[in-house]
Amino acid sequence: MALIKYITDIEIEFGAIAKLPDACRAHGIKRPLIVTDAGIKAAGLLQHAVSALGDLPHAVYAETPSNPTEAAVRAATAIYKDAKCDGLIALGGGSSMDCGKGVAIAVAHDGPLKTYATIEGGSPKITPAVAPLIAVPTTSGTGSEVARGAIIIVDDGRKLGFHSWSLVPKVAICDPELTLNLPPALTAATGMDAIAHCMETFMAPPYNPPADGIALDGLARGWKHIETATADGSDRAARLAMMSASVQGAMAFQKGLGCVHSLSHSLGGVNPRLHHGTLNALFLPAVIRFNAGAASIQAEHRMSRMAYAMGLGDIPDSNAAAEAVANAVTAMNARLNLPTGLAALGVTAADFPAIIKGAMADHCHAMNPRLATPEDYTAMLNAAM
């Protein structure tokens, strides 16, 4: 069965942050907890959101780590309960939004967080009793503001996914103004994250034509504008296009992802200091080449359609199109000054067994158009080094 669901209320325009108090009122939130991180606070973006709230009482948790943990969820949950909050505002990148979703679960459900992880069979245990969440992205990458999932490192060290339609933010307030001062390196890494979402969900085999159309359009927008947004962060048209690409990637990836994400989720658990978007960018070329021969890829001419959306021309042959797309991603990574490979991040062959074990267990593994074996993952890791 193919479930097609689109998805939540999205405000996307410059100045959209001003609609934050209206969004709270619309969903009965009278005392929100703002979940964010120290960098957002230092950059003045937290104050921007607080000013928009006006006289609406609120509390703040500003210690979200770059890869959110169950410990961070517990700390934020304690503040939520102590301050008698009744809803959440997740302000920041994917980390803050994932942490906020973890809090939304924890304030309404008992037991350790892993109880509700997808691979533990926990998705049906997440009920509509979760705290209402409003998402305000300050990067253009994860698309978590319109997604039903969160990725959190639980107490046993695993980096697990949590998925439920109950976790979809009630409103996504997407204000490109909040991204104008994002540094070039972070603009590049988060932008490639959005592009990876568009590409990988387009390659995923489930039947969902609306998702395919949204993903292809998001890919075209992101690919056209990422270099401009990175080189000139003040370019408003490029910032709007990248925010749209981010939203579109996540609107589409309810269809599924694949080996790019099973690998990046796993490696992010092995080394939480590594940036998820950067890992996606580095894994993309190897996974594209691996996927080229999949029956669903060839039957739907998916490599050729991605090549066309990226401005690479009309390349009817699937293998030739895959090679062109993979080479273009590698060249884009270089132009954006992203790392040249996993080795530049300190990854070694000694890390491979743990990465592969995590990838095989990841919720994205089975959604790839070709089912990868441990040997396939080894080859992909070597290619990404």
Q: Which residues contact 300 (CB under 8 A, 6 or more apart)?
A: none
Element (H, E) at 262: helix 259-270
pLDDT at site 94: 87
pLDDT at site 5: 53
Helix, strand, or coil (residue 131): coil
Taking the C-alpha atoms of residue 246 and residue 364, their distance in angstroms, rounded to an integer, is 19
From the list 233, 220, 148, 151, the residue with the least C-alpha distance to 188 is 233
Taking the C-alpha atoms of residue 122 and residue 137, their distance in angstroms, rounded to an integer, is 27
pLDDT at site 220: 97
Q: Half-sphere exposure (CA, 13 Å, Cβ side) for 356?
A: 17
pLDDT at site 36: 96
Tokens representing 95 are 């980390």
Contact 151, 131 (CB under 8 A): no
Helix, strand, or coil (residue 34): strand
pLDDT at site 2: 43
Taking the C-alpha atoms of residue 37 and residue 230, their distance in angstroms, rounded to an integer, is 22
Q: Which residue ranges in the chain fall short of pLDDT 50?
A: 1-2, 4
Strands of the chain, DSSP E: 9-12, 32-35, 59-61, 87-92, 133-137, 149-153, 159-163, 171-174
Handedness of CA 7, 9, 13, 18 (dihedral sign): negative
